[in-house]
Amino acid sequence: MSKLPPGLETLAYTLPGQQPAGPFAPVLVGVVGSGNLEVLLESIAGSECRVHIETSARGFGAIWEAVVNDFHRRHPLAGVRVSIHDMGATPAVVSLRLDQAVAELP
C-alpha cells in the first residue's frame, strides 16, 4: 500500500528568469485528460518564472524537477507563471506542451 496521501500532488518552483516575456494574454495549451495535461502561461510582475504543478501522478517530484529545469534551461523566461494540471502525462508530453505554450508567446 502506498504511503502517499490520496489526491493530487502539488509542486511549486521559483526560478530566476533571464528573458523578460513582457505583458501577454494568457496562453493555454493541451487538455486535462487521461495521460495528458494542460499548460497555462500568464504574465506576472517581476523577474522570476514561477511553476505550479498539480498532478495525479504522486511521488514523482524528482522527475518533475528535472523536466522543469530542462524547460527553464531552454526557455529562461522572466515575469511568467506556468500552471500545469496533469493527469499522468509522460515527461516527453510535458516538454511538448511547455514548448507549444512558449511558441504561442508574442
**Could you tell me the residue ranges of all domains in the chain?**
9-103
Render pLDDT for 2-60 as a digit per residue (tens, 0 to 9): 565 568 899 999 999 999 999 999 999 999 887 899 999 999 999 999 999 999 989 99
Residue with cell 505554450: 101
Note the pTM of the prediction, 2 decimals.
0.91
Indicate the CATH number for domain 9-103. Answer: 3.30.230
Query: Among 5-14, 57-66, 77-86, whose mean pLDDT is lowest?
Result: 5-14
Burial class (CB in 10 A: 0-12, 13-18, 19+), 33: exposed
Phi, psi dihedrals of residue 39, rounded to the nearest 5°: -125, 130
Angle between helices 61-74 and 91-103 (to 10 degrees): 30
Residue type, 11: L
DSSP string covering 1-58: ---SPSS-EEEEEEEE-SEE--S---EEEE--STT-EEEEEEE-SSSEEEEEEEESST
The candidate with the shortest Cα–Cα distance to 36, out of 86, 71, 82, is 86
